Amino acid sequence: MTRHLKILLLLLFTTTGFALAQSGEIRGFVYDQSTGEPIAYASVLMDDNSGWALSDDNGYYSFKDLKAGTYAFHAQTLGYDTVYTRITIKSGDIKSFNFYLKPVGEIMKTVQIDRERLRNTTTTKISEINITPQQLTQIPTVGGEPDLVQYLQVLPGVVFSGDQGGQLYIRGGSPIMNKVLLDGMTIYNPFHSIGLFSVFDADILRSVDVYSAGFSAEYGGRISAIIDVQTRDGNRSGLAGKVNVNPFTSKLLLEGPLVKKDSGISNTSYIISYKNSYLDKTSPLLYKYAVNGNLPYSFSDLYTKLSFNSESGSYLKMFYFNYSDVVDFSGVTKYNWKSQGFGGKFLLVPQESKNVIDGFFAFSDYGIEQNDYSSKPRTSGINGFNIGLNFTYFLKGSSKLKYGMEINGFKTLFQIYNAANREINQDQNTTELTGFINYNLVKKDRFIFEPGFRIQRYASLGNTSLEPRLRFKYLITRRLRFKMAAGLYSQNLLSASSDRDVVNLFYGFLSGPDELPSAVGSKPVTNRMQTARHAVGGFEYDLSSIASVNIETYVKDFTQISNINRDKIYDDNLQYADKPEYLRKDYVVETGLAYGYDVTVKSQGKRLYVWLVYSYNNVSRYDGIRHYQPHFDRRHNVNIVTSMVMGKDKSWEANLRWNFGSGFPFTLTQGFYENLSFNQGASLDYTTANGDFTVMYDDINRGRLPYYHRLDFSLKKTVILTEVDHKPKKKMEFIFSATNVYNRDNIFYFNRVSYQRVNQLPILPSLSASYSF
């Protein structure tokens, strides 16, 4: 362990000395009385207005430095009854009290605006989008079921490769540069090959936080973006579930308490979700016009979770997942990937300590294989574990100090052949050690200052990354806010996708290799890490009580990126030692630059929701020989989303989404030739020998695909069968949806050898039915 890491760990543990203060403290959690789920950003106030606190994502609140005496306070948030209480404490006491708030009728979507503005004025929240399950229903539900991947596509700075492909690019970062977390576990491939679905069931999500740049020291191990997905607990009051059927997928969801209480809610619960796709079987019957009725996509997603909660607010959550995906373009190529894992997370609220402790532990295994009928197969796999432990010390108001550590260990297995038919493979074990500290200071309700520091030790690489971070917000007025963020970032993993392909479904994973060149251009390569620097700035303004605008500009300087060497034609041995490195090394080192800006306008009324986003992105790479644009360099991207609730009983809802994007770059084909290896030496008769069919490429990504645009629509009818406390107990939903309403021909895949073009999905109408109880 390095000297830097030891110093940080000493700092982290000695900070717990704060807990020795002798002033009193009142703390606890705010829960939804009907489900037992925590309520984030609920206000807990002293009745005499002498103090206030906001509950965090776990529902936790805390009042510090209280003198001995009796205090009256209450908890409130829109959509719930207010609850009052009185507590007497002595000097040095730590008293706990949990609020259980009862929902009042339907929780309106405008409640989201109220909570979002509380978050905007108490946290830095820059380059950060917070997604709730309710928001997922406000875009067209293609196939009849809301899905996270459909919502991510409309976020500022986000580029998707299309209906088919399902790869996510965030503000100039490729998919390998984005970390996707599920309850603390890294998910290596979160999107299915058909880009309409993710591996996550929208009905089990509690929150999703997307950090597109300048994220805090709490997150690391990636140099572009973070997607933090948190699942909810099962219903702790009684048995509940959902069944859904549509032409794309079917789903079964069951949840309930492990032990049923005679009254109130249970401290234990379970949730099981299984989703299955059969589009490859229904498309020949229902969508014969779509690629000759051949939509060769199938997948299945299984997720289970057990939750154990204590009266003090401590908990233990255990989960297991199994995701799989198969794509078979008959006679062209076949993809097959599978991901499975298990883990848990916990929260401890020690009775005599002023710290809250949380952590996670997980193991996962991911593997992908591509069999291309015109070339050799590609395979990749990664499996490993991660363990993390965090400490949070809550200060007055919304200020807090958080610090922690994490250990990651994984193994990568990899084999591909590059464009010159040279084999590239890897079998490597890797260990990463991490420590961080992050301080969120809210000063006089005007300044929000969030400095942080992270140490990332890559043991197998022999490199250590010191990463200072800074996030800041200034409330010019309550409606107008300025914000900025900057930091250093690093990662180990790299991808082996080929920039030669117009569209690519294969993403292999490799650890930082040993065989790097000595320099990129004139810049020496001194380590094996991939590194980047972020800078973000912007303004947010509340146009009215229901509308807001957000403007941000960003720069990501990718100071070192490792990539597969697309120019290699010689083996890296003594025989070819006189050849240039870029012709014999398996990997190259690149630099890159991404910059741009986003404008987002949002309006959330009682019946009408409007979301408008324009993003400009400019992405470039330099590999020491040439400057080029990567295949995801979409300069202009527009998303328009509307959602309207109709009818006196609000049982109808119509959703519309239109996306427009400028064309992706791609590498043109110059011609074809027969490649003879001459393995037999001079005795080979080249006039009769048969070589490998080989493509001759133009320079990288000098062409541009046509512009992309698509309109999606859905109409939902809700039929409430029974109600309890003004909330639906049993209901049915019928959804008519259509993707690509005006049937635009958007390119998906082009096979250079057979000269076959496959377009993105044509118009696909569907009707779904679901029953919830």
pLDDT of 18 above 50: no
Q: Give the pLDDT band (50/70/90) at residue 499.
A: very low
pLDDT of 172 above 60: yes
Comparing 2 with 656, the larger pLDDT belongs to: 656
pLDDT of 524 above 90: no
pLDDT of 112 above 60: no
Element (H, E) at 430: strand 423-443
Three-class SS of 435-498: EEEEEEEEECCCEEEEEEEEEEEECCCCEEEEEEEEEEEEECCCCEEEEEEEEEEEECCEECCC
Cα 391 to the chain's mean position, in Å? 23
* Buried-state track 622-659, b at ≥16 Cβ within 10 A, e below 16: bbbeeebbbbbbbbebebbbbbebeeeeeeebebbbbb
**Mean pLDDT in the chain?**
86
Q: How do residues 344-357 score in pLDDT, each as one tens digit?
A: 999 998 877 778 99
Q: For the chain, give the percent of residues with pLDDT over 90.
A: 47
Comparing 46 with 254, the larger pLDDT belongs to: 254
pLDDT in the model for residue 610 = 96
Comparing 36 with 386, the larger pLDDT belongs to: 386
Comparing 79 with 112, the larger pLDDT belongs to: 79
Instruction: Average the pLDDT over 544-571 and give the result.
Output: 89
Q: Give the pLDDT band (50/70/90) at residue 616.
A: very high
Instruction: Average the pLDDT over 85-98 and give the result.
Output: 86
pLDDT in the model for residue 15 = 47
Q: What is the four-CA torsion angle of 207, 312, 317, 243, rounded to 10 degrees?
A: -60
Neighbouring-strand partners of residue 365: 340, 383
Under 8 Å CB-to-CB from 367, ≥6 apart: which residues? 337, 338, 339, 379, 380, 381, 382, 413
pLDDT of 438 above 50: yes
User: Hunting for tokens 């989960």 — which residue is that?
Assistant: 319
Q: How do residues 387-399 score in pLDDT, each as one tens digit?
A: 999 999 988 777 8
pLDDT in the model for residue 19 = 40
Under 8 Å CB-to-CB from 648, ≥6 apart: which residues? none
Instruction: Average the pLDDT over 253-261 and give the result.
Output: 87
Torsion sign, CA atoms 256, 261, 264, 268: negative
pLDDT in the model for residue 212 = 96
CA distance 232 to 234: 7
pLDDT in the model for residue 535 = 98
Comparing 671 with 534, the larger pLDDT belongs to: 534
pLDDT of 615 above 50: yes
CA distance 277 to 201: 13
**Count of CB atoms within 10 A of residue 756's CB?**
12
Q: Which of 114-123, 257-266, 438-447 holds the top average pLDDT? A: 438-447
pLDDT in the model for residue 328 = 85
SS3 18: helix
* Buried-state track 211-220, b at ≥16 Cβ within 10 A, e below 16: bbbbbbbbbb
pLDDT in the model for residue 732 = 95
Instruction: Average the pLDDT over 634-655 and give the result.
Output: 95
SS3 376: coil
pLDDT in the model for residue 79 = 78
pLDDT of 21 above 50: no
Q: Give the pLDDT band (50/70/90) at residue 224.
A: very high
pLDDT in the model for residue 20 = 42
pLDDT in the model for residue 679 = 67
Q: Give the pLDDT band (50/70/90) at residue 81.
A: confident
- The mean-pLDDT minimum among 374-388, 497-511, 588-602 falls in 497-511
Both ends of the chain: CA-CA distance in Å? 53
pLDDT of 17 above 50: no
What is the DSSP-derived secondary structure letter of residue 38?
B
CA distance 716 to 723: 19
Q: How do residues 53-66 score in pLDDT, each as one tens digit?
A: 888 888 898 888 88
Residues in the chain: 773
pLDDT of 551 above 80: yes
- The mean-pLDDT minimum among 10-14, 248-252, 409-413, 710-714 falls in 10-14
pLDDT of 108 above 70: no
Sort 676 into a burial class: Cβ within 10 Å, 0-12 / 13-18 / 19+: middle
Q: Give the pLDDT band (50/70/90) at residue 418.
A: low
User: Hunting for tokens 């994502």 — which residue is that?
Assistant: 57
Comparing 674 with 170, the larger pLDDT belongs to: 170
Pairing between strand 519-520 and 43-46? unpaired
Q: How do residues 679-723 score in pLDDT, each as one tens digit?
A: 666 667 777 777 777 788 888 888 898 999 999 999 999 999 988
Q: Cite the beta strand spans of 492-586 per DSSP E.
A: 494-495, 509-510, 519-520, 523-524, 530-542, 547-564
- The mean-pLDDT minimum among 8-12, 485-489, 760-764, 768-772 falls in 8-12
Q: Which of 361-375, 517-531, 593-607 holds the top average pLDDT? A: 593-607
Instruction: Average the pLDDT over 734-743 and give the result.
Output: 94
CA distance 500 to 375: 14
Q: How do residues 470-483 score in pLDDT, each as one tens digit?
A: 999 999 998 999 99
